[in-house]
Structure 1
Amino acid sequence: MKITQLSVVVPVRNEQDNVACLIKEIDLALNAITHEIIYVNDGSTDATYARLKELQSQFKQLRIVSHVKSCGQSTAVRTGVKVAQYDWVATLDGDGQNDPADIPKLMAAIADGVELAGGNRRASRRDTWVKRMSSVVANTVRSKMLNDDTPDTGCGLKLFKREAFLDLPYFDHMHRFLPALIKRRGGKIVSVPVSHRNREHGKSNYGTFDRLMVGVVDLFGVAWLQRRAKVPVIKEEG
């Protein structure tokens, strides 16, 4: 299956020093296809919005959507997907650690029936030891509770069908459970090895302990949803 049009959604909060380089890389990676770059400015208090406005004159495909107050990463992603023009959407983190050059790899992995291709950073992860270990623990528990063998569900680099995403139940922090939620509705998932880079500027807006605590609560919520999900096998007669 060939994807010829793509919307790229990048949620950002206080990433003023990362936007210019990342936009250039996204545009270069996708110069062979029709694309749009949607930056969702999630209540930034630095010069992120001003930098984005400056870049719009250089990158005509750059769109900016802003939250007056920060609503979190999941809400920012959903805002971007809702305004996206194209049937397929890629997401990546705004800190520059995801490499846009990997987006075509995800596109190449899409086959009939596949609704989500997710990046797998395990071989190249550039996070602190504490963050890596917390991810290992979280992925192990999630795999057992949700019967989801996706190796790196926390990777921000993902490619999915817009319609499938908008059909999912919405809740805060849902972006961490996209593979399990897609499977819940009967969709297929593929994982693709991708690179992971050091953060060059700024600092993370999400603490490891905070992510772990909300993750535990959300995990039980997703498990509850799964137990009540019924995916029918449909046959039309006549």
Structure 2
Amino acid sequence: MNQEQKEFELTIIVPVYDEEDNLERVKKEFLSYFKSSKYQSKVLFVNDGSSDGSQKMIEKICSESDLFSFIELDRNHGLSAAIKAGFDHTTTPFVGYIDSDLQTTPMDFELLMEHRNEYALVTGVRQNRKDSFVKNISSKIANGFRRYMTKDTAEDTGCPLKVMRTDYAKKMPFFTGMHRFIPALMMLQDGAIKQIPVRHFPRIAGEAKYHLFNRLVGPFKDCFAYRWMKKRYINYDIKKQG
């Protein structure tokens, strides 16, 4: 059965930036997930200008299964742009997101998808995080300041495991750094949010793209950008049309 004959419910965006050492494992993990899942889903790789062999591996994976497809950006634009590009190219009712380092597992999409019809966003909360002390403490500081500024109540906005309604995802205003504010951006549309505990694993291969500076300074400045956006955001629903 080819891709056009299937009624897919979920597109899972996998942003990729110099992750060639992880992609074979990504393929195996998702093939296992597809076999066990009760939901019809597929993967959309978004290659964000990788300079290693990631694109070659992505094309090989996609040629072997119609459950994988890809888009390749013209250069490295950053994670927010890669996620936005994925949203723009999603046609299924629901869209998910997971990092290609697989510190979270596709299997936990089953937990999130159970709540997909009641909430605009279902987001993971990483349990027993397997990160370094510096990464954990900087994440806690950034999360705490963001919650204070946005009032989004999200415990772990940086968790790279999310499922959302595609119509809400496509309406979110996206700028560089806005991937950290997805719960807050959903609130601008009055979208209901559900938080679900998910598993967390150590990074096995590749290198982390974020460090202390860009995990704290960037989000700090972006909080003020969000506050400005919140005051000026246009949100409406059609009551009647003729």
Secondary structure of the residue aligned to 2:131 is coil
Q: CA deviation at 1:56?
A: 2.1
CA drift of 1:101 comes to 0.7
Residue 203 in 1 paired to residue 168 in 2? Answer: no
Structure 2 unaligned spans of 5+: 1-6
Following TM superposition, by how much is the alpha carbon of 1:109 offset from its aligned partner in structure 2, in angstroms? 2.3
Deviation at 1:170, TM superposition (A): 1.7
The number of equivalent residue pairs is: 232
1:174-218 superposed Cα distances (whole Å, 9 cap, x missing partner) = 110000010111000000000111111111122221221111111
Task: Say if 2:41 is the partner of 1:35.
Answer: yes
Answer yes or no: is the 8 Å Cα contact 2:124–2:156 preserved in 1.
yes
TM-fit CA distance, 1:234: 8.0
Say whether 1:8 aligns with 2:20: no
Match of 1:70 among 71, 76, 83: 76
Structure 1 residue runs without a partner (length 5+): none
Are the equivalent residues in 1 in contact too, given 2:8–2:92 (CA < 8 A)?
no
- 3-state SS in 1 of match to 2:64: coil
State yes or no: 1:153 paired with 2:157.
yes
Percent identity, aligned pairs only, is: 32
Q: Distance in 2 between matches of 1:230 and 1:55?
A: 41
The counterpart of 1:120, out of the listed 125, 142, 148, is 125
Question: What CA distance in whole angstroms lies between the structure 2 residues aligned with 1:230 and 1:58?
Answer: 44
- 1:210 and 1:161, CA in 2 relative to 1: closer, same or farther beyond 3 A? same
Structure 1 residue ranges (4+ consecutive) displaced by more than 4 angstroms after TM superposition: 229-236
- Take 2:228 and 2:23, find their aligned partners in 1: how far apart are those partners? 38
**For each residue in 1:15-58, what CA deviation from the matched residue of structure 2 results, as whole angstroms up to 9, or x when unmatched?**
00111211221232233332221001111111111111222232
Q: Distance in 2 between matches of 1:85 and 1:211?
A: 32
1:166 counterpart letter in structure 2: K
Q: How large is the RMSD of aligned CA atoms in angstroms? A: 1.9
1:91 aligns with 2:93: no
TM-score with structure 1 length normalisation?
0.91
Q: TM-score, normalised by structure 2?
A: 0.90
Q: Which amino acid aligns with 2:44?
A: I
Q: Does the residue aligned with 1:109 lie in a helix, a strand or coil?
A: coil
Within 2, Cα distance between the matches of 1:227 and 1:56?
Answer: 43
**1:225 lines up with 2:229 in the alignment:** yes
Which residue is 2:136 aligned to?
132
In the TM superposition, residue 96 of structure 1 has moved relative to its aligned partner by 1.4
**CA shift digits 1:86-144 (9 cap, x unpaired):** 010110011111111101100012343x10001101x2211111111111111111111
Distance in 2 (alpha carbons) for counterparts of 1:8 and 1:233: 27
